[in-house]
Amino acid sequence: MSHEVELTNDNFDAEVMKSDTPVLIDFWAEWCGPCKMIDPIVEELAEAYEGKIKVGKVNVDEQGDIAAKYGIVSIPTLLVFKDGEIVNRQVGAVPRPTIEGLFKEFV
């Protein structure tokens, strides 16, 4: 069972902008090798921090307008939202401690 939320135009506002907890968003694509490298890490963090953060995924091929709105030009890109605002951004495949460090101060 996935602990991640697939984000779309239909649910982005409710799941991210109105979230009571910080949201880590993974912008990815099926063909992206580095995205596949960090996917297990993102899933582990979603499980480890369940209830403290929400983890969402945006497929840039299917949700290009969301990616464009937030200036996503390279993937994977991770964004952390708190209270509807971007508070951290990381581009590229990075190790778990780096990803964890993006949101740790907000939980």
The domain that holds 88 is classified in CATH as 3.40.30.10
Inter-residue contact 92 to 102 (CB < 8 Å): no
CB 55 within 8 A of CB 76: no
Domain that holds residue 65: 4-106
- Joined together, the tokens standing for residue 84 give 């509807």
Is residue 65's pLDDT more than 80?
yes
pLDDT in tens, 21-34: 999 999 999 999 99
**Does the pLDDT value for residue 2 go beyond 70?**
no
Say yes or no to pLDDT of 1 above 60: no
Domains contained in the chain, number: 1
Is residue 65 within 8 Å of residue 34, measured between CB atoms?
Answer: no
Give the pLDDT of residue 87: 98
Give the residue numbers marked as catalytic.
Answer: 32, 35
Q: What is the DSSP letter of 73?
A: -
Whether the pTM exceeds 0.75: the reply is yes
